[in-house]
């Protein structure tokens, strides 16, 4: 077994490596919404059992994919005819 100090170092290196790879494919932003819009978004997210930020990210992604369909071609599921 690893001594505690070595285990912490290995764990921190693994997490750091994962976060570096994860940050290459994702970015963060902050948005400001009118109170009523946020409250409605929060209600919607609660109704689906998901975090408000997760629903907001999903909705933004869908809107961007609709706006730029040439950049985001539909994904073909395995087994579907092309």
* pLDDT tens sequence across 45-54: 999 999 999 9
Q: 55 near 49, Cβ under 8 Å?
A: no
- Please, what sign has the CA dihedral across residues 57, 64, 73, 18? negative
Q: Would you state the pLDDT for residue 76?
A: 76
- Whether 59 contacts 52, CB under 8 Å: no
Q: What is the pTM of this model?
A: 0.62
Q: How many degrees, rounded to 5, is the angle at CA 20 between CA 15 and CA 22? A: 90
């Amino acid at each position: 077994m690893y001594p505690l100090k070595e285990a912490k170092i290995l764990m921190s290196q693994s997490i750091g490596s994962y976060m570096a790879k994860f940050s290459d494919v994702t970015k963060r932003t902050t948005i400001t919404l009118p109170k009523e819009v946020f409250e409605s978004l929060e209600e919607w997210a609660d109704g689906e059992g998901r975090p408000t930020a997760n629903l907001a990210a999903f909705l933004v992604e869908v809107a961007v994919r609709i706006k730029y369909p040439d950049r985001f071609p539909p994904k073909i599921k395995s087994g579907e005819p092309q």
